[in-house]
Each structure stands twice: as structure tokens, then as C-alpha cells.
Amino acid sequence: MKDLLFSIALLAYPRAFRVRFGNEMRDDFARSNRGLVPTLAKHVTNGFSERGSAFRRWAYFPNFTPHLYESTGSHFMFWDTLRADIRHTLRLAIKTPVFSTLTVLALALGIGATTAIFAVVNGVLLRSLPYRDDARLVNIWSYNTKENLPRNPISPANFLDFQKMNSTLDGLEGYFTFVTPTQMVTESGTEIAYSNFVTTGLFQMLGRTAAYGRTFTINENAPVVMLSDGYWRRRWGADPRIIGKTLALQGTPFQVIGVMPPDFVFPYPGMLGPSGFTRITGIDLWLPITFSGPGAAANRMLDTRGQIVRNVHWWGAIGRMKTGVAAQQVEADMKTIAAQLEQAYPATNKGWSATAVASIDQSVGTIRPALMILLAGIAFVLVMASVNVANLLLARSIAREKELATRAALGAGRSRLARQLLTESILFALAGGAVGLVVMFWTLRGLIAMAPSSLPRINEVGVDWRVLLAAGLTTILTGVLVGVLPALSSASVNPQATLQDASRGTVGGSLRRRARAALVVVEVALAVAITTGAVLLLRSFVSVTNIDPGFETTKLLTWQMNIPVHLTSNADRLAFYRDFFARMEALPGVVSVGGTTRVPLGSTSVSTTVQIEGRPVPAAELPEVQFRRAMHNYFPAMGIPIRRGRNFDPNDGPNAPSVAVINDTMARKLFPNEDPIGKHVRTGPNPNQPWTTIVGVIGDVRHGGLEEVPQPEIYINYLQGAPVSPFIVVRTVADPAGLAETVRAEVRRIDKNLPIYEMRTMSAMRSETMSTRRFILLIVGAFGALALGLAGIGVYGVMSLIVSERTREVGVRLALGAEPSQLLTMIVGQAAKLAAIGVAIGMAVSLPMAPLLDSQLYGISSFDPLTFITVPIALLTIATMAALFPARNAMKIDPLAALRID
């Protein structure tokens, strides 16, 4: 054992030094009675510094080095061999500039693209979140077991109990699971800032401090606000004197106390939970959550009896796990607390458990499968590019057979020859890697520019040590991958046979011929796998594009606005809206106008419980439905069909009996065998609220996204409860974007301080919901195209080589009377045979791998027959076509000339 350790320690020394002094040192070691560990450690440091001095000596006086340790004999050191090989490679490379450039470029593209994709994966998935010790952070959700929604927001009262009662967390903090467009009045008018409400301990728990000023104190009671770096630069010109100034937010003065550093992000869109579907990705302001005073009232934190709300769920929670605690333990802890709360507050908490999710998963978990697909795809492409380069090198090694045979005859061992060839391919890879870095920077820039802003953390993607390490490893690996086949096949060269044969032109050894066949097979197989993935994604994309969202997305302009703060009564607000809608409808080019509190494809959801008259159900078991208000001509403007009953009309005013419209899904689920029209329902848990009559049923609308299954929805009329920050929709005669300026001008005329924002066409919003899918498809599609091209080039290259090698044979055949068409069949047939094997292997690989794509597929199964029939046919066709060119060349061979070679 001791000896083994010693031998290992000795490896630190240069080999020649070991040969010269190793035995003596071993002997001394056996006699020595010093401490084992320090002695070995000293040997290791000595060894490496000896390597250092030997290398310095070699670098300055290369020609003396052979005598460094041995005065009599001479030995070649590692560095000498390397130097000789490098010189040889460079000389060869300069002699064949086209070959060298092509090889380096192919490798550079492969390595560069791979590293760029890895950089995205690294920035999004691997880099730590901008919080201290982020691996210990965990998001806590309420688990709605009735509806099976494991990541439902928490109610504030439950949050406080989780905070107090848990035993596994070093701090739990809360935030609102939505972004609030906050009205801010400045000298230049009213504008909107996007804010998020957080509990006061959040920043401390996350372990972050302000770049300027301070963060909230734990008992922050004064109205204060913190700015994000982006907002501070964009809106306030990065003026540090902003600290201490006052911002008028929603009519209340808030004092600015701090600006967060540029890398700080909170919350990530993923942390907004399932309802957090929002286009707004950046937060401008953080406001403290208070549990008393006007702030608490404004946030509807207290119920009618002044208690903190327990039945409405709109909070997110993030906590820091105690050291050594796992997320599962936290979840068990939270479930126990939730069970206790269920006992204590059955009316509100029945059916509510809890979930804990690591914060990194919460932030980027949804995009992980897509990015892993990209990484796998690019790895396949890289292997294909390497295979092509390996084929080039293999072809060249034939041309060099005489050289290698001569070397072998002069005494070079197999390992020496293999090492030389491997050095060559690694040198090519290194050059490729260096150029690949440039390719990576370009590709990365393109990827970031192309990436949808909804891709989480895309702004955090950059080049760090991990990316550089990956580039280095990819380069070395590619070098070995590319070099190993030529090295093996050339190292086994038989000098005698080759040198004798040399005068008569060479024929590749059987090993090499098999190696080349293997390359074609591998290439076709990989191309099948990549193309299958790309086609599956393409077919899914088409399916998603064809989804009917339930309303007309064309010729629709939408925006959000906040009505003036001074309109506090329902009557005042309705007067404002009456005037507003009338003036909007009067604009030229407007067909109809409406509004809602939650616009499809572009906002969050809010749900409520409903009680149906005549169906007594305990409060905790009431069904949950999506809740929205319809304003003015909302359904006609959107193109949502009325299936039964009627639309709201102006007679359903504030003093009329309250009425509601529900969607098909709600009608089907809650009134399966009866007519919902005329039924009475009550929203919310309050038993004293009057009944609402259902007057109509509308078609289903895809609300959260095109791929999301419609949920039960109930709409009430805005006249019976006017909203303050509605989404307005305008149906236009022509291109809706053209109307944007007219609308803005008209709104300014109504009230110059009326902030309108997020104005866009519904077609753009529809397109945005598909942006991540489009991004992934674009990249994988590019991989697929590349794979087909590489496969074609690969087959072409190999078949050309085979033809040129068999020139003599072909000549003989032609001379003996073979028909040129027979030759064509022979060569194309050979290519087709190899391609068929490749296709078979590719299918065998793709079939079990296809389900990995499931998360990205829509409307088709991962065993989509159309895909699995077309892709193989396409590849067989490409392989056959690629073989046609060399086959035609073979047909043109002049038998006389072929036989006269050499």
C-alpha cells in the first residue's frame, strides 16, 4: 500500500527523471522513517516543479534536453516528441491548405455551435440564481387537492402560519404572485411602473443588499419603495440622488430607500406560479407588504371583520432551508402544518395541502426539457461533423500510407504512429476550437437576440469559466473522436506489404474499408434521429398554429389602462366608461369595442368559488371557476360566439338584478344534464351575497395559452362592478396596428394623464405565446437541415473515395465488358445498403428516444407514423442521390487509362 502510494507520488516527476532516480528514491523511501503524508506531498511538489524546470530548459535549449538526466545515453522527452509531431503536422497542413481549412472550419462550426448551446443551458439552468447560497432556497405553494393543483398560491393568513410553525426553514418570506401596474404621477404626467409586493424580510432572506441605499427593515411601516437597477437607469438616468426622493404611487407618496444591483432579479416569472402567466418580465419597483393601515386595505389583506384573509390565495412564498435539510423534508413539514390548519380552519382550509419546490426548478423547470433537447441535438450534430472530419482524415491517411509504412519500417512502434496521428487530429481540433470560440460568440449573440423574452433567465446567459471549460473539453473530445479511427487503422499498417504494394497504387486495408462503412452508417443513423426530432417538433408547431383559440385573433387591438385614481365611486367610474366607449366607437375604422379584466393570451387568471342555488355543498367543497368581468360589447368585439341565451345588455345596470354569462366548459361541468340559463349562482364564500342569474352561455376561449385546455369561466357585467385597470379590445376594419396612434391620441384627449400601456395586436400576442416553441423549432430545424446536409456530404465523400480507390478494379471490369449501368447499380447499391443499415439503426435509436420529446409535442404522438415513414425515405433518397455523383464518375472511367495507372 505504502509502495503503491509512493509510486503514484513519483508520477509527478518527468518520466526520464523517474527512470534515472526512481530506484534510488524508492530505496531512500524504504529506509526513511519520516511521516508518510508530508514525504509524499513533498515528492509531488518536487515532481511538478521538476517538470516545470525541465520544460523551461526545453523551451530555452531544446537541443540540450535529451541530456538533461542522462549524461551518456540520450532520450527523447515527451516535449521533444510533441514538438516533432507538431512540426510535422504544421508542415503537412501548409502543404494541403484546402484540406486543412475545411477540416478546421468544420470542427470550428461544430465546436462553436455546441459551446454556444451549452452557454445557453449554462446561463439558464446551471448558473446559480442571484441569491446567496441559492441551492437552499425553496418555493412553498398551497396544494389544492380538490382540483389537483399542486402549485397554487397561498393565502396571507396561511402564509403567516407556515412562517411561524415550520421547523425546517431559516426564514420564509412572501410576495404577490402577480405584477401590479402601478400608476405614478410625475411632473411630466402619469405613467405606469410595474411593481411587486414583497414581505419586508425578503431581501435579507435572499442574502442580497442594495447597490445604493438600503433594503427594507424587518418592521418597515413607512411607505417606502425600492427600485430595480434597470428601471433606475431607464427612467431615472442612474441618478444616485434618487434615494430619499418621493414617488407618488397610486396617489400615495412613497419614499425611495434603495436601488438593487443589476444582477438581482425577483421574482422570476416561473415563481409567479401557474397563474403567473404574464408578458411583463421585468420588475421596476418593490413595495413592502403591510398587514395593517391603508396599505393592507388597498391590497385587500383584511376581510370584513378585520382579520387577515385566509380564503383568497394570491401569495407566493420562498424560504431558506436549514443546513442539511432537503426539499422533501420541507414539504413533509409544510404538509403537516397544512393538515393542522385544515383541522383548525375547516371552512377555508379543507382540501388544501402544501408543496415545496426548489427555487431553481420553480424558475426554469418548464424550459429544462426543451433546452435538454437542444443540447442533445447539437451533440448529435457535433458527432456528425466529427464523423465527416474523421472520414477526411481517414482519406488522407491512405495518401500517407507510404509515409507511415516508411516510418514503421524505420522502427516507429504502433503506439508511436498512433500517437502522431492523434496529435495531428487534436491539433486540428485545437485550431477548430480556437476558431470555434469566435463562432460561439457569434452564435450566442444570435441565439440571445432570437430568443423570446419569455425564455427565463436568457438575459443571464454569457460566457463564464464553465462555458470555456466546456469548450476546452469539447475540443479535446472532438480531437480524440476524430483521430481515433484513422490512428487505429493506420497504426496497424503492415510496412512490408504496403511498401511492396506502393509502386502499384494502394488499396485500403479491409479494416479501413470497414471503418469507412461504419462512418456512413453512424452518420445516417444520427441524421435519422435528429431529423425525426425536428419533424416531430415541426408537426407539433403546425398543430398549435391550427388551434382555434375560441375568438377571432385578427383585426383586434388590445391595451391595458388605469382609470383616474380620483374616480372612487361606481357611478363615477361608469360615467367615465360610458363616455370612453362612446368615443372609441366613434373613431373611424372601429367596428366594436369592449373590455375585460383578464384578456386571453395576455394576462393572469383569477378564480373564485361558486355556489349553485338548490345544491347545498360545504363551503370547502364549492367548485372553483375562473372569474372575469365583461365590459361593453366584449363578446362581439372578440368574436366569441353566444351559444345560448343572451349577451349582457345595457339594462343589466347597477340597480338591475345581477346577471352572469358562463362558458361552455362551465355549463358542461356544473350543469351536465340541464339548461344553465336561468339558474342562480353565487360567487365567493359570502352566504349573504344575493344570487346571480345565468343569462347566457358563450363558447370556450383558450385563456392561458393556445395549448391550455379551457377552464370553467364565469363573467359578470362591468356595470354591476366597474374595474379600475381593464384590458380594452377594439375590433377594427383594417390592420389594427394602424389604429394604435389614433387610439392613443383619442385617449389623451379624454384625459391626458390616463396611462395606457401594453398596447398590441391580438395576432402579435398569439404569436408571442408560441415564441418559445418557435425558437426551439427553429434551432432543432436548423440541426435537422444540417444533419441532412452532413449526411449527404458524408455519403458522397465516402463513396467518392471508394470509387477512386477502385479505379483499377472498375477499369478491369469495363475492359472485360461490364456495362456502365451495372457499375452504377453496384456503387449506388452499396451506398443504399449502408444507408439502409444506418436508417434501421437510426430508427431503433429514435423510437425509444422520441418520448423524451413528449413535453414539446402537441397534437401528435411521439410515434407519429407519418414522421417515422417520411424521415427514413428522405434519408435513403439523400444517400442514394449523394452516391450518384461518384457513380457517374466511375462510369466515365476510361479502362485503358485506369489500367495504365503507375
Interacting residues toward another protein by CB under 8 A = 13, 17, 20-21, 23-25, 27-29, 31-32, 39, 42-43, 45-47, 49-50, 53, 67-69, 71
Rounded to whole angstroms, the Cα distance separating 636 from 656 reads 22
* Chain position carrying cell 450566442: 444
Minimal distance, residue 20 CB to another protein, in Å: 7
Measured from the CB of residue 68, what is the shortest distance to another protein in angstroms? 7
Distance CA(652)–CA(376), nearest Å, equals 58
Cell of 392: 477526411
The enclosing H or E element of 559 equals strand 556-561
Instruction: Give the SS3 label for residue 116.
Output: helix
Least distance from another protein to the Cβ atom of residue 84, Å = 23
Distance in Å, CB of 527 to another protein, minimum: 55
CA distances from 803 to 696, 731, 807, 823, 824 (A): 76, 66, 6, 10, 11
Nearer to another protein, 50 or 805 (CB): 50
Question: Residue 557's beta-bridge partner residues?
Answer: 730, 761
What is the rounded CA–CA span in Å between residue 447 and residue 441?
10
Least distance from another protein to the Cβ atom of residue 137, Å: 48
Distant-in-sequence, close-in-space partners of 782: CB < 8 Å, separation ≥ 6: none
Question: Residues with Cβ < 8 Å from 586, sequence gap 6 or more?
Answer: none
Q: Which is nearer to another protein, 24 or 902 (CB)?
A: 24
Instruction: Compute the least distance from the CB of residue 8 to another protein, in Å.
Output: 14
Measured in whole angstroms, how far is the alpha carbon of residue 158 from the centre of its chain?
33
Helix axes 15-31 and 2-10, enclosed angle (nearest 10): 150
- Cα 155 to Cα 312: distance, rounded to the nearest angstrom: 5
CB of 83 to another protein, least distance (A): 20
Closer of 18 and 313 to another protein (Cβ): 18
Structural element, H or E, at residue 189: strand 189-198
Q: Chain-centre distance of CA 186, in angstroms?
A: 39
64 vs 863 by CB, closer to another protein: 64
Phi/psi-derived region of residue 300, left when phi > 0, alpha when psi is between -120 and 50, beta in every other case = left
Distant-in-sequence, close-in-space partners of 27: CB < 8 Å, separation ≥ 6: none
Q: Which is nearer to another protein, 23 or 494 (CB)?
A: 23
What is the pairing mode between strands 285-288 and 189-198? parallel
Residue with smaller CB distance to another protein, 68 or 356: 68
Report which DSSP code applies to 308. B
Smallest distance from the beta carbon of 70 to another protein, in angstroms? Answer: 9
Bridge partner list, 195: 180, 285
Nearer to another protein, 35 or 653 (CB): 35
Ramachandran quadrant class, 227 (left: phi over 0; alpha: psi -120 to 50; beta: rest): beta
Least Å from the CB of residue 43 to another protein: 5
529 grid coordinates: 434521429
Place of cell 500500500: 1
How far is Cα of residue 184 from the mean position of the Cα atoms in its chain?
Answer: 35
Least gap, CB of 81 to another protein (angstroms): 21
Shortest distance, CB of residue 50 to another protein, whole angstroms?
A: 5
Q: Strands, DSSP E only, in 293-341? A: 315-321
User: What CA–CA distance (Å, rounded) separates 371 from 379?
Assistant: 12
Q: How far is the CB of 21 from another protein (least distance, A)?
A: 4
Distances (CA, A) of 232 to 182, 237, 282, 283: 16, 7, 12, 11
Residue closer to another protein, measured from CB, 77 or 791: 77
Block residue for cell numbers 514538438: 83
User: Pick from 441, 557, 597: which is nearest to 119 by CA?
Assistant: 441
| Residue placing its CB nearer to another protein in the complex, 35 or 738 | 35
Question: For residues 67 and 643, which CB has a smaller minimum distance to another protein in the complex?
Answer: 67
CB of 25 to another protein, least distance (A): 5
Minimum distance from residue 23 beta carbon to another protein (Å): 5
Residue among 27 and 675 whose Cβ is closer to another protein: 27
Query: Closest Cα partner for 696 from 758, 767, 635, 751?
Result: 635
Asked if residue 267 has a cis previous peptide bond (ω within 30° of 0), the answer is yes
Residues 362 and 334: their CA atoms lie apart, in Å, by: 17
The grid coordinates listed for 780 are 432543432
How near is the Cβ of 31 to another protein at its closest, in Å?
6
Nearest 5°: the CA angle 232, 234, 239 is 45
Please identify, using beta-carbon distances, which residue of 24 and 741 lies nearer to another protein. Answer: 24
- Of 27 and 170, the one with the shorter C-beta distance to another protein is 27
Nearer to another protein, 69 or 352 (CB): 69
Q: Please, which residue, 50 or 85, has the CB nearer to another protein?
A: 50
